[in-house]
């Protein structure tokens, strides 16, 4: 397939490299990052999009996505697909889909789970929103860049799935970290705590797969000085998106709201920026009380 790829940062570069390795013809554009080997370099976003069957975007936020969509949609052929894999707000995803429809372009919002490791290994999970026909067209690309793609419904539903998932993740990580800190104070051994919780009703991905306590459970960023992994800054971004969506939809999400507050304090005032999101555990150890 002929593919344009805009946003070749930590995630976009390995995703584009996997498409090249699978035999696709990829033209890329990024304001700052270099093109990976095998990706032809375009001089603008519009130039990268022109004449492509699919244009993939992997950008920092919804405002940038809207701006880039404004540049690329007029350059795209009717019937081609704009596939946005960034994590953005639901409203931006739906606005871009409406704008695409006006120019005869199909839009799919398909944020990912799996991080840089998954992008590099080609094992991402995609959660997609958009028309059936558009999902069908890009499904072979999901199969190259990932191991699973779930079609969640119309435009914006991919982003909705992503922020709901990450709201659960942020809340369970905090709950797991504060429980470890409490267990310490009660004199409960961490290994015993893990052995019980990971096989009891307190289990979660945060405990079982990504345990925030160093030396306990499977290998995780806690065993690597809390180097991300999934940075606390990105968790804060996603929690803020979930709260923005909750406010717009009049949904009651008090735990999500508190998790967003705690990650904001952690990132902005407690040195959490650039650390893995599981570094909430040393934060709770240090502070004792939130
Ligand atoms: P990144 O900052 O490494 O990459 C973003 C790239 O976009 C940068 O190279 C930047 O130069 C480029 N860019 C910005 N504005 C541009 C423009 N107008 N035109 C062209 N290029 C432009 O970020 P990342 O870690 O690759 O994340 C990308 C997206 O994926 C984000 O929405 C993020 O939330 C999401 N995501 C990241 C992870 C992760 O672990 N890093 C995991 C899941 C989802």
Q: Quick check: is 162 catalytic? A: yes
Please determine, for residue 288, whether its predicted confidence score (pLDDT) is greater than 80.
no
**47 Cβ closer than 6 Å to some ligand 1 atom:** no
Strands (E), 89-215: 106-109, 112-113, 124-128, 146-151
Closest CA to 113 of 57, 164, 68: 164
The pLDDT tens digits of the residues spanning 203-251 come to 999 999 999 999 999 999 999 999 998 999 999 999 999 999 999 999 9
Convert the pLDDT of each residue in 103-138 to its tens digit.
Answer: 999 999 999 998 888 999 999 999 999 999 999 999
Task: Give me the interface pTM, i.e. the ipTM.
Answer: 0.99
Q: Is 58 in the pocket of ligand 1 (CB under 6 A)?
A: yes
Helix (H) or strand (E) holding 175: helix 157-185
**Ligand 1, closest atom to CA 7?**
7
Closest residue to atom 20 of ligand 1, CA basis: 30
Query: Is residue 229 reached through a cis peptide bond, with omega within 30 degrees of 0 on the bond before it?
Result: yes
Write the residue with the smallest CA distance to atom 7 of ligand 1.
7
Q: Whose CA is nearest to atom 34 of ligand 1?
A: 87
User: How much of the chain, in percent, has pLDDT values that exceed 70?
Assistant: 99
d(CA 15, CA 73): 22
Structure pTM? 0.94
Q: Residue 288 C-alpha to ligand 1 middle, in angstroms?
A: 35
């Amino acid at each position: 397939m002929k593919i344009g790829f805009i946003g070749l940062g930590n995630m976009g570069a390995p995703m584009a490299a996997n498409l090249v390795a699978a035999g696709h013809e990829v033209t890329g554009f990024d304001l700052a990052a270099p093109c990976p080997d095998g990706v032809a370099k375009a001089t603008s976003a519009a130039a990268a999009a022109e004449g492509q069957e699919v244009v993939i975007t992997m950008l920092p936020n919804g405002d940038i996505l809207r701006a880039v969509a404004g540049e690329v949609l007029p350059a795209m052929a009717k019937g081609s697909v704009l596939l946005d894999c960034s994590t953005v707000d639901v409203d931006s995803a739906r606005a871009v889909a409406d704008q695409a429809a006006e120019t005869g372009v199909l839009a799919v919002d398909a944020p990912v789970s799996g991080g840089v490791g998954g992008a590099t290994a080609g094992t991402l999970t995609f959660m997609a929103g958009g028309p059936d026909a558009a999902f069908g067209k890009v499904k072979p690309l999901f199969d190259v860049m990932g191991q699973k793609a779930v079609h969640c419904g119309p435009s914006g539903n991919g982003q909705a799935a992503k922020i709901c998932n990450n709201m659960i993740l942020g809340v369970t990580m905090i709950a797991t970290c504060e429980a470890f800190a409490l267990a310490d104070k009660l004199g409960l051994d961490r290994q015993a705590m893990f052995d019980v919780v990971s096989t009891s009703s307190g289990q979660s991905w945060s405990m079982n797969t990504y345990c925030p306590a160093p030396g306990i459970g499977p290998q995780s960023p806690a065993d690597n000085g809390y180097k991300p992994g999934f940075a606390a800054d990105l968790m804060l971004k996603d929690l803020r998106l979930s709260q923005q969506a909750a406010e717009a939809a009049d949904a009651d999400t008090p735990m999500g709201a508190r998790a967003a507050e705690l990650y904001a304090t952690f990132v902005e005032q407690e040195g959490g920026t650039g650390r893995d999101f599981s570094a909430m555990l040393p934060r709770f150890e240090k502070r004792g009380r939130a």
